[in-house]
Amino acid sequence: MAKLDETLTMLKDLTDAKGIPGNEREVHDVMKKYIEPYADEVTSDGLGSLIAKKVGDENGPKIMVAGHLDEVGFMVTKIDDKGFIRFQTVGGWWSQVMLAQRVTIVTRKGDITGIIGSKPPHVLSAEVRKKPYEIKDMFIDIGASSKEEAMEWGVLPGDMVVPYFEFTVMNNEKMLLAKAWDNRIGCAIAIDVLKNLKNEKHPNIVYGVGNVQEEVGLRGAKTAAHVINPDIGIAVDVGIAGDTPGLSEKEAMSKMGEGPQIILYDASMVSHKGLRDFVVGVAEELNIPYQYESIPGGGTDAGSIHLTANGVPSLAITIATRYIHSHAAMLHRDDYENAVKLITEVIKRMDRDTVNKLTFE
């Protein structure tokens, strides 16, 4: 594998960390380690969302730049008499990406390796083999011979189960393959935006945020935004890459490497037109590449942020990513770096007058 530079080391640490909704402490601690040097203070809300505050002008507008800490995964619900683990999905999964995949069960006694199993196809009828295998019929095999043995190893109902995958820099070193890009890339963007602003003057108060429980209903964004009460909300997340075989532009317009995605519409929010135009104007001014995208299904933390208090002008800026909500996804380093640059420059150009104008558009 290619030698990891400082940025790749941070991305590896973030994606390697294990944290499904409601179990984000490990990811929280990694993000805190990286963002703390650039923040005036780092606090948490009552659910565990990380809130890093950086003051440019203490009377300036509050800008919330939010990724989410959690990743899709599973939870142990039952251990059967033979030691096989029954589980619940936590976040959205498609059954066809799950079978025979390695997972890590995080127990009070340490991590345990397992594999998602099913009946072998050899015993299924031809008709059944043609159908997607149902998640409810899957199990996790940890090599235990009994329920007692599994429990002796530390496994308990409620334990989180996380996909296992090694962070990989591809032959094209701009292409990065890892678990949990959704949404550790958003956390990385929030970290780097604060890093860029460390020695810059700007007339705002910026919050770099790692929200909890996005994958189960944009929950942490709701509580974190309640704490911050922002004037502007920017959610940073992954989006759909439309550049793999079989996808038409009608289904997904974006291509990896052609800039961050400006989300026009998704199932959680109609983007704020004034803020959207302001961001696009900055991108045009500085020749930062960008792409438009609309996603009829799914949403981002902006869906919760924009409904805070009296309403917050909000926008989602996302990174075109292949194979999200599976064990491994791929994105392009240039898109990540351009998203950081764009959001940094937007913040430097934002002030109270700009926000007031946006609010009344």
Is residue 214 part of the annotated active site? The answer reads yes
Catalytic one of 214, 215, 258, 293: 214
- How far is residue 28's CA from residue 109's CA, in Å, rounded to a whole number? 21
Which residues carry out catalysis? Answer: 214
